[in-house]
Structure 1
Amino acid sequence: MTQFIFGNSLKDKLNRWPVVRNTIWKIEAIVLTVLLRILSWLPVAKASSIGAYLGRALGTRIAKHQMVITNLSLAFPEKSVPEIEQLAGDVWANGGAVVAEFANIKKICRSDRLKIAVAGYIEGFNRKDRPVILVTAHFSNWEIAAAAAGRMVQPLSAPFTPPNNPYLGRMLSAHRQALGVNLLARDVSIRPLFKQIAGGHSIAFIMDQRVDSGKPVPFMGMDKMTTLVPARLGLRFNCEIVPVRAERLSPANYLITFYPPVVADDDDAGEEERALQVTTKINQLFESWIRERPQEWFCASRRWPKIRKNKSLS
């Protein structure tokens, strides 16, 4: 969290003083635990609204705010500086609501606050012997999207990157048990995912991040280094590749839509080319969601490898 708030430079400094680093890590975990506990005592919608207020108030004052500004400026070059500033504040408000809703995730997932729609026929939802690949983005509330996915397919696994703070990681993992998802610490190798699918597990991916080991795929008018792993797995194991969208209807109320499976344009092309075709379609779908509701796209990490200065922001 310190790295998120103050930037990468602090991470290097803290690593030189392990005792100080561990103390800060413990304080972070305690503060977030207390905050989530307080929010869990409040009515769900009220907690979400408070989280949105705090997210806007605090997010616009931390180091990562400039990255949100940069990403939005690149994605929406037609918008003015004041429009980008307003939109960035809205992004932080959504992020704050996500944190607050995390405190009440069990209540949300086990009530009519979570609505699910399936757009079209998805064979893997009706056959336990056919795993599916689920793909989504950091959009609206991706934690709720994972919970909805856990309702539709079981067993379900999802790779994730644990936080640097191990105390925080343990606390977050305990809360995420309500999702019904088996979390896999992200590995540089694809082999653990092979084993999961071979064992009958569906796999869920969040794939709007920049992945330097990926391939350049168009996204928001520019090439973004994008992972092809979800598409490769789907093609290799003949799994349907299903996009999942979360939409915030009101504070702590969601519609989760499972879209029809994405398929390659050319069945005769090689596996790598088909994986690229599928990933391009996924990025296009994500882009359409973001353009429709840009305030719900959480983009606090760098999305493109080279930053073009479209605007002068101060």
Structure 2
Amino acid sequence: MSDPGPAEYVRPKDIDNRATFWQRVQWRLETIAWDVIYWAPMKALGPDKASDFGGWLVKKIGPHLSQQKTMRRNLRLAFPDWTDAQIEETALAAWESVGRTAGEMPHLPAIDPYTGGRVEIVGLDVLDRIRDSGKGAVFVSGHFANWEIMPAAITKRIPSAVMTYRALNNPHIDKRIADLRAAYGTQVNAPKGIGTRELMRALSRGAPVALMNDQKFNEGIPVSFFGHEAMTAPGPTRMALKYKVPIVPVATVRTGPARFRIEFHEPFIPEDTGHPEADIRRSVERISAFIEAQVRAYPGQWFWQHRRWPKEAWKAAGIA
């Protein structure tokens, strides 16, 4: 397989087409703030200090945001035996993790997975087996620690790999992040909503793809997550079954400021018994169990701000 070359910036057109004049003005103002208030100061600090400062700042601000209530509800649902102190401690750690990720963003090119000693890779042989097979694979992961690190570990080893991402509403900031990812080594990106064809094309030519599989997907299937049903995307499993390729679970763990461990777990082939619905459910449950195990191991490093479960789950558990 050949190197895909420079990344092409692709963006869902519907986001921009429905924007009003004042929305476009707001985007410009947001971009100026991004460049002047956020990017330039963080860039000047260096990776370690930017990580520390971002973590400190968001840890102070986060508890006052509306997402704090969502986090507490999620944590109480996931860990019903925890004390209020444990809930608050983990919520603060999760805010700090988000802040560190933001502080580290301008320094991604300096956090190279294979040089500089900032990233340890466990299971590199798994990655190399996928590369050498020439048959592709579906890498699945979640929003652990700094989730921008894992894609580069894959694409720098397998340049043909295709990553998915969620396009930001602001096209100017979205382009800046796309350029940063390209500079970091994540060359081929398929935006959610229009990227499915790109993923299927990649798998058909023997290139691996990578997706996050830990957030709510309303059109998904309900599977157990911390003992409560959560709507989960079956897409990664469907693709693995269609193209007869393995699923590779991946986790990222923060080990210090701008320092990480990426763990490539042993691949598995989804069962294909001739009963598609049951086969897909078993695989999605297996992925969900992997995500849950990683969250339990490092609860302060997961993105709890997302409303992973439906409101009905909170109500059923008596969580206000």
Q: TM-score over 0.5 for the alignment?
A: yes
1:76 maps to which residue?
79
2:284 maps to which residue?
279
- State how many pairs are aligned: 298
2:89 to 86, 97, 108: 86
Amino acid at match of 2:251: R
- Superposed displacement of residue 91, structure 1: 0.5
Task: Give the share of equivalent positions with the same residue, in percent.
Answer: 27
- Superposed displacement of residue 89, structure 1: 1.4
Give the TM-score, by structure 1 length.
Answer: 0.87
2:296 maps to which residue?
291
1:299–1:240 CA distance, 2 compared to 1 (3 A): same
| Corresponding residue SS for 2:286 | helix
Amino acid at match of 2:41: I
2:24 maps to which residue?
22
| Corresponding residue SS for 1:104 | helix
| Corresponding residue SS for 1:295 | helix
- 1:262-297 per-position Cα deviation (integer Å, ceiling 9, x unaligned): 334x55352332222111111111111111110000
- Taking the TM superposition and a 5 Å limit, the aligned residue runs for 1:1-314 are 18-34=20-36, 35-109=38-112, 110-118=115-123, 121=126, 124-127=129-132, 129-177=134-182, 178-187=184-193, 190-264=196-270, 266-307=271-312, 308-309=314-315, 310=317
- Superposed displacement of residue 306, structure 1: 2.8
Cα distance in structure 1, aligned partners of 2:145 and 2:85: 22
Cα distance in structure 1, aligned partners of 2:160 and 2:101: 25
Cα distance in structure 1, aligned partners of 2:24 and 2:79: 40
Cα distance in structure 2, aligned partners of 1:280 and 1:203: 20
Cα distance in structure 2, aligned partners of 1:127 and 1:255: 23
1:300–1:181 CA distance, 2 compared to 1 (3 A): farther
User: What is the alpha-carbon root mean square deviation over aligned residues?
Assistant: 2.3
Cα distance in structure 2, aligned partners of 1:299 and 1:89: 11
1:183–1:191 CA distance, 2 compared to 1 (3 A): closer
Check whether the contact 2:164–2:195 (CA below 8 A) recurs between aligned residues: no
| Corresponding residue SS for 1:164 | coil
Cα distance in structure 2, aligned partners of 1:120 and 1:147: 16
2:10 maps to which residue?
none
Check whether the contact 2:238–2:280 (CA below 8 A) recurs between aligned residues: yes
1:10 maps to which residue?
none
Amino acid at match of 1:52: G
Cα distance in structure 2, aligned partners of 1:274 and 1:122: 25
Moved more, 150-159 or 162-171: 150-159
- Superposed displacement of residue 225, structure 1: 0.6
2:6 maps to which residue?
none
- Superposed displacement of residue 95, structure 1: 0.3
Cα distance in structure 2, aligned partners of 1:257 and 1:87: 22
Moved more, 67-76 or 118-127: 118-127
Structure 2: unaligned runs, 5 residues or longer: 1-16
| Corresponding residue SS for 2:223 | strand
Cα distance in structure 2, aligned partners of 1:311 and 1:217: 21
- Superposed displacement of residue 90, structure 1: 1.0
- Superposed displacement of residue 65, structure 1: 2.1
Cα distance in structure 2, aligned partners of 1:243 and 1:274: 18
- 1:178-207 per-position Cα deviation (integer Å, ceiling 9, x unaligned): 142411121268444222212333110011
Amino acid at match of 1:18: T
Give the TM-score, by structure 2 length.
Answer: 0.85
